[in-house]
Amino acid sequence: MPDFVWALLIALIVAFAVTPFVIILAGKTGALDAPDARKVHHKPIPRIGGIGIYLAFMAGVLSVLDFDSLPEDVRTGVIGLLVSSTLIVLLGIVDDYKTLSAKVKLLGQIVAASVLVAFGVQIDFIADPFGDYFYLEYFAVPATIFWIVGLTNTVNLIDGLDGLAAGVATIASITILLVAIQNDFALVTILTAAIAGAAIGFLRYNFNPAKIFMGDTGSMFLGFMLAGISVIGAVKSAATIALIVPILALGVPIMDTSFAIIRRYRGGVPIFKPDKGHLHHRLLDMGFNQRQAVLLMYVISALLGFSAVLLNEVSGGIAIAIVVCVVLLVFFGAKKLGILRMKNP
């Protein structure tokens, strides 16, 4: 079997085996998510499930990846990714126990992203659909940090229903995995397969009715890893618009976060103030139950993922047409659902 299949299976098995012990640990240490007016669960739920996802990912990668076979700069970048993602997990654990302020979390995310950049992982250029390159030069470091922190928070913010963030991250990682296979990037296939396996194994306990939440530990880790992997490997060097593939792969959380910022700005409320206007809230208001809403968002994510894979195979003009169609459909759907309007209390 290919190495990436082994990475997926190992991560899946470890997540499946470890998560029950994380549930016990959360109960004994008080890492519980209490219900409130914004949340849809009605009793305290363990919320450090991201520890299981992290351990499963590490098991999948370290069991399969041959570091000695990697070029020195690539090996350094992978080590940087593992080190910086560990920092983001530690930040998430602290937040799941102590509930850090948004500013403190943002600072911690910037530090972790800066560590990754210090290991040589950064966006040096952006390719357009016609094969031309725009070099970022002095903007490479801030652009990379913005990219990583932005994707970290988009996955973090979508974690509002049982199984939603884990399922969307699974679909996104499989999308990037397929693009990596198309472009023959073996390293990225292993990393994304391990992410997919860890998330799938965790979903056994996280799908509705959830026995455990991933918490900020898991959602920030998944977002950080997908952002870092997209910089380190296949998508950065793809012939299409370099960063459009992961943007489409994570289209649901990116769309939801972007519309939340617009909605709150138009409503005159702080951008970081939580509300009940997210896509999953709107679907619940329309009469969908949790499972139905999550499955519908899986379908949307899969369609966006398919468009990302297709984008990597077509010529420049067709690629632009695909992106324009996706953007128009997204805005049409958002308007119909009322996501751009503040919800009446």
Residue 141: pLDDT band with limits 50, 70, 90: very high
Q: What is the pLDDT of residues 212-240, one digit of tens each?
A: 999 999 999 999 999 999 888 744 454 34
- Please report which helix (H) or strand (E) contains residue 42, including its range: none
Q: Provide mean pLDDT across the span 268-291.
A: 76
The verdict on residue 331 lying in a domain is no
Mean model confidence pLDDT for the chain: 85
The verdict on residue 247 lying in a domain is no
The verdict on residue 176 lying in a domain is yes
Note the pLDDT of residue 79. 96
Position with higher pLDDT, 42 vs 296: 296
Please say whether the beta carbons of 192 and 173 come within 8 A: yes
Note the pLDDT of residue 315. 66
Domain span holding position 103: 3-240
The verdict on residue 159 lying in a domain is yes
The verdict on residue 169 lying in a domain is yes
The verdict on residue 263 lying in a domain is no
Coil vs helix vs strand at 127: strand
- The model's pTM: 0.89
Residue 38: pLDDT band with limits 50, 70, 90: low
The verdict on residue 256 lying in a domain is no
**Token pair for 178:** 């397929």
Strands 45-46 and 125-127: unpaired
Tally of structural domains, the chain = 1
The verdict on residue 277 lying in a domain is no
Residues ≥6 apart with Cβ < 8 Å to 133: 125, 126, 127
